[in-house]
Structure 1
Amino acid sequence: MAPSAGALKRATLVLLFAALIWGSMIPVLGALAEHYDKWLLSWSRYILGLPVLWLAVWWSTPPAASPRPINWQRLLRLGAAMSAFSVLYTFGVAHSHPATAAIVLMCGPIWATILSRLMLGSTTPPGFFLTLSIVVAGGIVVVIGTPGRTPGAYRLEGGEALLIVAQFCWSWYSIRAQQWLSDRGQVALSALTSTVASILLGFVVAGVWAAGGITWPTRAPTTLELGMVVWIGVLGVAVAVLLWNTGVSLVGVPVASLFSNSAPVFAIGLAALMGREPSWLQVAGGVVVLGGIAQHQIRQMRSARR
């Protein structure tokens, strides 16, 4: 069943806001990673986001119908998919050239569409594949236009495959979470799965620590750095994951994944506000990405009103 015009409007708002948050995390995480271990940052994001999610569960109105009993095996699998995404993403970025890693990530909507078709046999809205091509192409233009990129920067270093698997893990989580937990509402769904993911990530971080792979900070964080850490946890996990799951529940994973390609566009805008002037290619690519998403949503809204 095609989403209503109202659902499309709500999905557009929540998914753009999620992309805005994730885009803002790119320069923030980059700044924090200069002084703090990436594993500690990855885990702290989930730990800081959990209290906010559970407060939201407490404040929110429970579903009208009683939800099914929790299937703990399924919940564990959902948490494992989230934590696998985080670990594979960390290793994938660490073992890829930044340019090729960004291009692989820009192809995320392709993997999401393939997985959705395989798992659900779902069909896509009219014009979706044209929009998919526009959004992916625009995202790649954004990457190509990165200032300071050296000639011959696009080379494979092995981590790209991990990034593809990471994106499949995230899409699998997004699909199965709606199938298994949507009767509990999007707030509880996000809180439950993020809690399990944080526990599993804690075990991963403990293993990395035992292997001597954790670099502990040598100084206390500044007030600005504390604010940045809270930002990536409260907004980057609690708010953004909730917004993402809400958007997926309204329009499905393939369409929702299109919006994720706008995150780097927002990152460029934030970087510009911080004094880093974007290149004309980045601006042009950003216009293509946002224009592709806009024309798709407008076309769907018009179709829903007929």
Structure 2
Amino acid sequence: MSKVLIVAEHLGGKLNASTAKCVSAAQALNPDAIDVVVLGAGDAAAIGTEAAQIAGVSRVLTVANEANANPLAQVLAPQVAALASGYTHVFGPSTTFGKDVMPCVAALLGVNQVSDLMAVEGSHTFKRPIYAGNAIITVEAPADQIVVATVRTASWPEAARGGSAAVEAANVEAALPTYTRFVGLAAGSSDRPDLQSAKRVVSGGRGVGSAENFKVIYDFADRIGAAVGASRAAVDAGYVPNELQVGQTGKIIAPELYIAVGISGAIQHLTGIKDAGTIVAINKDPDSAIFEIADIGLAGDLFQILPELQAAV
């Protein structure tokens, strides 16, 4: 008998798509129940209603507390740990949010975390990538302990909508720390789709040449309604901020369409896009490693090819 609790990720009053992907991973366990917990402030009930529409969810628990207004791991984790009693599995997304919160949950429950869960082999047996995705390892968690895991969102589809789970307000008895407090959030604002959940992504690399030249990437992305990403080389060179980095030390993404422009194809970058649907590579060097994994390759000057593509769209 298995029962899964999923920690919902949300921001700005909206549920993140990573939550529905965690539901897909939970469904692979064939559990008796899948519950979702929404930790929020005044917006908890509204977000809970949205979570209740995910197919396969049995119940949504909403925890409204002003301390949850900002997603601090040290504040959220004690509440999740308190709610975990009676569950066999606690899942969270392998996003910046999940990587922050779930290790704290595992520590409070006294168990080892299973990271980047990409396949379910059994109730306590899972597959996850290692060595920058070059190998897949099978791990087995102790059968007598609760399983705390982060779900590799790039490996799972979003669960369908159309559900109608019950939404219940939950009271949590947990001591919240006072040594951690929210001071402020520095984040860039953009009208473009979110990089981690976008269906289309256009990324630029060192070959773009400069921060000024990156305008051709932004313009093309805007034309096709895509998010903008970058290789580590472009970020290290100062062309774009690090929140756009795609790869092992950046964001792991799985868009339907990924267009790599001026990116050579270092293994660190390829790790971040291995689950993408269609990969298009544009590079002047026909021997670049990116062409080995691309579905469509265009060898040529990106400053000539991109404007032509943009005009044709």
TM-score after normalising by structure 1 = 0.27
| Larger proportion of helix | 1
Comparing both chains, which one has the higher relative contact order based on Cα–Cα distances under 8 Å and sequence gaps of 6 or more? 1
Rg: which structure is higher? 2
